[in-house]
């Protein structure tokens, strides 16, 4: 447009920002994107992708043990943390190049510098000022660490991907996705893991049966839980870290990792030079089209703190670009978004928890199955899986579906389509299962639990 350098400037080249930039460019817009770090954002560089690669590695310890139940004799084995990290780094480098090529092939101009608003249409990018008709903020979030004595000795998940050595003893503080996933990773790779959480069960906000089963399974695999506990201070003694707990006890470890939430990246964005509304909690306020309080400024992803998942940021970015540059009307609904926790065992979930479903829909029919997976009838392992359907009694719509167990994310992704588009329990029942699979349990549960 006349008077502007670009039709769209995106601040932040994570998954949501890159998707928005590419789609807008495909609709004919002149687009630029700025990023002070590596292109790819948290998910690709220091989040879900490298985390899942490490989770794959952690599974091998059990796979070697389980092989004996199927007649295999596994010989001498050893594990090299440096080799794993080097292989992970190589893959992340490859993905970073893929993202760079995607932007280049789309005709998007990349500025490898931080962006900070000068006014509602101008952004300082490195040593130059860039103006744009529309601006999209996709700056993401960063880990939060508490202000306690000795916090400088602790790490977050960002640093965990770059440790030079595998810690023999590690305490992980937190009870959410990241804490549970890293507890499983370090435990599976041979570390002595203590997961410390101020609550009474992990995964606050998830269905209570998911929380119950995952806590039990993780404990059964060797994770030491310390619930309703917190750390008051950390001190360094040689190569050891001494954690002073709020009950007076001292926990001695080699590494302290905090996974206690993330904070939207709004500092140093120059938002004080705009009329963009920022909530007291630090996130940017937007509507269902991701528009901020300024008509020509939008925000997507974790910086808006709606649903902080990479696919959600991608969806929001795509919907914004289609709406603004292709004349489509694409508001974003944040209901029935499937999610996964790559813990050990993993979790898959879509729709409402039992508690929240009761609040929204009143009377419910609950179907639940807990069973030993077929594989472990041969391995002797005590691990169990759990599947659960939550049905609104008056409409018989399935409004929640939850699973803990092997392949839960893969299974729930498929069923998420059915839940998203309102299939009923009768329609689940009419679907023939694939036998023998764990997934067939979700279409063969016939008898609801007794009320209460």
Residues annotated as part of the active site: 435
Is there a contact between 6 and 32 (Cβ–Cβ < 8 Å)?
yes
> Pick from 182, 151, 146, 149: which is nearest to 167 by CA?
182
Query: Dihedral (C-alpha) 207, 227, 189, 44: value to the nearest 10 degrees?
Result: 50
> Pick from 400, 387, 382: which is nearest to 439 by CA?
387
* HEC per residue, the chain: CCCCCEEEEEECCCHHHHHHHHHHHHCCCCEEEECCCCCCHHHHHHCHHHHHHHHHHHHHHHHHHHHHHHCCCCCCCCCCHHHHHHHHHHHHHHHHHHHHHHHHHCCCEEECCCEEECCCCEEEECCEEEEEEEEEECCCEEECCCCCCCHHHCECHHHHCCCCCCCCEEEEECCCHHHHHHHHHHHHCCCEEEEEECCCCCCCCCCHHHHHHHHHHHHHCCCEEEECCCEEEEEEECCEEEEEECCCCEEEECEEEECCCEEECCCCCCHHHCCCCECCCCCECCCCCCECCCCCEEECHHHHCCCCCHHHHHHHHHHHHHHHHCCCCCCCCCCCCCEEECCCCCEEEEECCHHHHHHHHCCEEEEEEEECCCCHHHHCCCCCEEEEEEEECCCCEEEEEEEECCCHHHHHHHHHHHHHCCCEHHHHHCCCCCCCCCHHHHHCCCCCCCCC
Cα-based angle 276, 281, 282 (whole degrees, multiple of 5) = 45
Helix axes 177-188, 48-67, angle to 10 degrees: 40
Phi, psi of 80 (to 5 degrees): -120, 110
- The whole-angstrom separation of Cα 61 and Cα 221 is 11
């Amino acid at each position: 447009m006349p008077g502007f350098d670009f039709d769209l400037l995106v601040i932040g080249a994570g998954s949501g920002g890159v998707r928005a930039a590419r789609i807008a460019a495909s609709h004919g817009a002149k687009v630029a994107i700025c990023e002070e770090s590596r292109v790819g954002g948290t998910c690709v560089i220091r989040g879900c992708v490298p985390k899942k690669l490490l989770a794959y590695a952690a599974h091998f310890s059990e796979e070697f043990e389980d092989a004996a139940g199927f007649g295999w004799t596994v010989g001498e084995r050893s594990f090299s943390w440096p080799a794993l990290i080097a292989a992970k780094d190589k893959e992340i480098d490859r993905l970073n190049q893929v993202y760079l090529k995607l932007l280049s092939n789309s005709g998007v101009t990349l500025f490898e510098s931080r962006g900070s608003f000068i006014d509602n249409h101008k952004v300082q990018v490195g040593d130059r000022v860039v103006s744009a008709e529309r601006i999209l903020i996709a700056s993401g979030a960063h880990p939060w660490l508490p202000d306690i004595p000795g916090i400088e000795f602790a790490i977050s998940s960002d640093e965990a991907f770059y440790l030079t050595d595998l810690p023999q003893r590690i305490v992980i503080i937190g009870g959410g996705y990241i804490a549970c996933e890293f507890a499983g990773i370090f435990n599976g790779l041979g570390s002595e893991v203590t997961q410390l959480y101020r609550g009474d069960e992990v995964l606050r906000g998830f269905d209570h049966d998911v929380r119950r089963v995952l806590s039990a399974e993780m404990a059964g695999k060797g994770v030491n839980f310390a619930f309703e506990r917190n750390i008051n201070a950390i001190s360094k003694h040689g190569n050891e870290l001494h954690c002073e707990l709020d009950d007076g006890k001292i926990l001695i470890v080699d590494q302290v990792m905090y996974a206690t939430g993330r904070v939207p990246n709004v500092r140093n964005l120059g938002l004080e030079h705009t009329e963009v509304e920022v909530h007291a909690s630090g996130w940017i306020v937007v509507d269902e089209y991701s528009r901020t309080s300024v008509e020509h400024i939008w925000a997507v992803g974790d910086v808006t703190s709606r649903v902080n998942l990479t696919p959600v940021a991608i969806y929001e970015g795509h919907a914004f670009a289609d709406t603004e540059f292709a004349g489509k009307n694409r508001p974003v609904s944040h209901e029935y978004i499937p999610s996964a926790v790559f813990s050990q065992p993993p979790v898959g979930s879509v729709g409402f928890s039992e508690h929240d479903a009761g609040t929204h829909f009143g009377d419910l029919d609950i179907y639940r199955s807990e069973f030993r997976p077929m594989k472990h009838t041969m391995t002797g392992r005590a691990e169990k899986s759990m599947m659960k359907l939550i049905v609104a009694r008056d409409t018989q719509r399935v409004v929640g579906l939850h699973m803990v167990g092997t392949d839960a994310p893969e299974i729930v992704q498929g069923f998420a389509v059915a839940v998203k588009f309102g299939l009923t329990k009768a329609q689940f029942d009419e679907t023939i299962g694939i036998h023998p699979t764990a997934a067939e349990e979700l279409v063969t549960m016939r008898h609801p639990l007794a009320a209460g």
